Structure 1
Amino acid sequence: MTATEFKNYDCKMYEINTPTEFEEFHHENYRPLRSRTWFIKQEIMSDIVEKINSFIQESLQLHQRSKGPIHLVSSESAAGSLKVGLPKPHTVIAIPDNLTYGPLGKLVERAEQKIREEWLFDHINDEQEEGNYASKFSNMLRQIDDIADSIPIYLWCGNNVAEQIGIRFMVYLLGEKKNAIYLITEDKIAISYTSHLHSEQIKKIFEQNKDVLPLSSNERSTYIEEWFKLVDSKEVLRIWNGREIIGVSENYYDSLIQATAEMLHNSQSEKEFLPVGEVIAEILNKEIIDPFFLEYRVRHLTYDGTFKIKGIPKSMHSYKIKLQ
């Protein structure tokens, strides 16, 4: 349950005045309150949802365990593809965040998550409601913590920076678990992103890789060491060169954005404002880059005077830009 779902949940309120009354409370013997309003801060709401989800997890642990193998993947869209394509039974767990950009941390403590969440909220226009990040991240950590030791774990990884960072983070989260961990990659096909695979490809890749040797203790240690190096890095943007993850300046794509806008201007009879979504779409036709990070850099280039702006930058589809 997310903070938004809890906020919108149709629940009834009851007033209890004494500890004895609380111990003997049964809702059928009480009349719910009417015409009352409570205002709860988003942070407090998130804490409430966190406690509710913890109780739910404890209850589920008593009654059920995951059936079939566990599949870990680096995005929610990729998780959707795996759920459709993999043979049942299975459980798919996704990282609810793109670790390509923004400050990193070990991200297992709320304080570390909050630093990252605040940076994302201040810079990235992904329209995610404040408070949802903490709820989704905590749910992911619970699911991983709840994996039984006897269940095999498969890590899916494409040839792209988000998934390369993701497997290092996931191996770190699995920590001291004794499970066999298998790495499934898409090196032998042209598609670089797990989310771009169709169900038949997923099924075929899994069949070809399900019996590979699990990661050795040395391989697991190497991935964890590489995760710690990423955590210690000061850069807030990371790229993959086909061999390693490299931290770069956050203005790394600025010249590409400007060149794309100039090219689109040259195709016009006279220079007019360009929809930001059109500029980003043109870039994505040639390179796979997170569109939300590109939109952040477009806004930065409007603030420093590179672009004129028309409209309100609520999202990449709500405003237009023109080179000065």
Structure 2
Amino acid sequence: MRNRPGIARAIDSLEGQGAKIYLAFALEQIRKLKEREAPLETSVSELIELYDELIESAEKKAAWDPVPTCTHVHFVVGYSFAGSIKAALKQLNWSGTHKVITLSGNYAIGPVHALDSYEGRKARRDWFQDHITESFEVCDDPEEDYDQLLERVNKIPEQAKVIVWTSRNACEQTGMLHAFRLLSGRSNFLALYDACTICEELDNRPNATISYRHSGEIPSDKLQAALVRMKENSYLSDSDKTRLEREWQTISKQSGALRIWRDAAVAEVPDDYYDMYLLDKLDKLRPASDPRYVKAARLIGEAMGCCEQYIGDAYFEFRLRQLIYEGILEIKGVPSSMRRYSVRRKKLSSN
């Protein structure tokens, strides 16, 4: 039997205990079909889901594995920026020699203390589970994503130049420092680029300016120009690497859950830093004399649109719920997601 390429990759990607688990699951579904223990549709659906999961996992792995001729590896923060830079690389016909490693978390929020340790990563996951309603899905093995990240770092070819992208916000700056921590000890040439600054310099004119808050806002056609502008001899010096390592050590010792970009540096601020800002936006949308409720999604959208920092809607929604719990706001609806409830200032009792 001749396997299709996708199936062959899926088979090759299975190893040891993982292969046994998938095989056992498939055999169990086939047994149910044979003995008519479960409806036909149920077992077939389970087998199709298993197939899709294996094919998707193998494709992701194949998309990363660098070829011997790989010349560049790009570290980016966030799926939005990753998608744009991958599109830009494809448009430049560089996809074969340029690979991308994505740091998916929002480094502006949540604890980043001791992320080199299992305890530190668990504390961060626990915080997201406890405070962010639309948090990431926790897999059976909570360390799986981190192990995959380390595996990708270890597979970076020795001859490849590693480029870490950042911008003027706490999320990408902290992610950038984490990337250099992961790269510590490698012999690759390392470079650091600010995508927003490069694109602004290329596009801004005396009569027309544009400012990006984070790299995910940059369209792929603009990123092509930034990629072409990379200087092949712009490597970080040993003193630069030492400075970045010190900056990471400073941030990774902090225990707070919110960071902003202030005075050209990442600054830790109290969890309630934006509470008064949210209340001010609410009062502008609905004065205290107006009894109507405001949709949480509308309020958070207003807060994000006016905020100079890149924080993300999840943190604003978390603080909105805290204001409800503290009795400052009243709620109508179910706070399972920001689109399902509305808020207003709590009215003081006349008694």
Shared fold, TM over 0.5: yes
Matched, 1:192 2:213: yes
Contact 1:108 / 1:141 at 8 angstroms: preserved in 2? no
Which of 208, 224, 228 is residue 207 of structure 1 equivalent to? Answer: 228
Which of 243, 246, 249 is residue 225 of structure 1 equivalent to? Answer: 246
Contact 1:102 / 1:237 at 8 angstroms: preserved in 2? yes
The amino acid of 2:187's aligned partner reads K
Matched, 1:151 2:160: yes
Moved more, 314-323 or 109-118: 109-118
Which of 241, 255, 258 is residue 234 of structure 1 equivalent to? Answer: 255
The residue that corresponds to 2:208 in the other structure is: none
Distance 1:158 1:215, change over 3 A: same
How far the C-alpha of 1:137 sits from its partner, in A, is 3.2
Distance 1:14 1:289, change over 3 A: closer
The residue that corresponds to 1:103 in the other structure is: 111
Q: After superposition, give the CA deviation of every residue in 1:127-186 in whole Å (9 maximum; x if it has no partner).
A: 422228643333222211221221111111111111111111101110100101111113
How far the C-alpha of 1:209 sits from its partner, in A, is 2.3
Aligned positions, number:
284
Distance in structure 1 (CA, Å) of the matches to 2:69 and 2:81: 20
Contact 1:102 / 1:120 at 8 angstroms: preserved in 2? yes
The residue that corresponds to 2:101 in the other structure is: 93
Contact 1:277 / 1:316 at 8 angstroms: preserved in 2? yes
How far the C-alpha of 1:313 sits from its partner, in A, is 0.9
- Structure 1 gaps of 5+ residues are 16-30, 37-48
Which of 324, 337, 344 is residue 315 of structure 1 equivalent to? Answer: 337
The residue that corresponds to 1:83 in the other structure is: 86
Distance 1:283 1:10, change over 3 A: farther
Moved more, 158-167 or 292-301: 158-167
Matched, 1:177 2:186: yes
How far the C-alpha of 1:10 sits from its partner, in A, is 9.7
Distance in structure 2 (CA, Å) of the matches to 1:66 and 1:130: 35
Matched, 1:281 2:284: no
Distance in structure 2 (CA, Å) of the matches to 1:173 and 1:66: 23
Contact 2:168 / 2:264 at 8 angstroms: preserved in 1? no
Distance in structure 1 (CA, Å) of the matches to 2:69 and 2:214: 26
- Structure 2 gaps of 5+ residues are 1-9, 11-18, 39-52, 201-210, 347-351
Contact 1:101 / 1:238 at 8 angstroms: preserved in 2? yes
Task: Look up the SS of the partner of 2:100 in the other structure.
Answer: strand
Which of 69, 73, 93 is residue 72 of structure 2 equivalent to? Answer: 69
The residue that corresponds to 1:299 in the other structure is: 321
The residue that corresponds to 2:206 in the other structure is: none
Contact 1:66 / 1:147 at 8 angstroms: preserved in 2? no
Contact 2:71 / 2:159 at 8 angstroms: preserved in 1? no
Q: How does 1:154-169 map to 2 (within 5 A)?
A: 154-169=163-178
The amino acid of 1:78's aligned partner reads F
Which of 99, 112, 125 is residue 117 of structure 1 equivalent to? Answer: 125
Distance in structure 2 (CA, Å) of the matches to 1:123 and 1:224: 30
Distance in structure 1 (CA, Å) of the matches to 2:293 and 2:172: 35
Contact 1:103 / 1:235 at 8 angstroms: preserved in 2? yes
How far the C-alpha of 1:321 sits from its partner, in A, is 0.7
Distance in structure 1 (CA, Å) of the matches to 2:182 and 2:114: 9
Moved more, 201-210 or 268-277: 268-277
Distance in structure 2 (CA, Å) of the matches to 1:321 and 1:282: 14
The residue that corresponds to 2:147 in the other structure is: 138
Contact 1:96 / 1:137 at 8 angstroms: preserved in 2? no
Distance in structure 2 (CA, Å) of the matches to 1:111 and 1:66: 38
How far the C-alpha of 1:315 sits from its partner, in A, is 1.1
Distance 1:11 1:323, change over 3 A: farther
How far the C-alpha of 1:323 sits from its partner, in A, is 0.7
Contact 2:113 / 2:254 at 8 angstroms: preserved in 1? no
Measured on the aligned residues, the alpha-carbon RMSD in Å equals: 3.0
Q: TM-score, normalised by structure 1?
A: 0.79
Distance 1:96 1:269, change over 3 A: same
Identity of aligned residues (%): 24
The amino acid of 1:279's aligned partner reads L
Distance in structure 1 (CA, Å) of the matches to 2:87 and 2:26: 40
Distance 1:181 1:129, change over 3 A: same
Contact 2:115 / 2:252 at 8 angstroms: preserved in 1? no
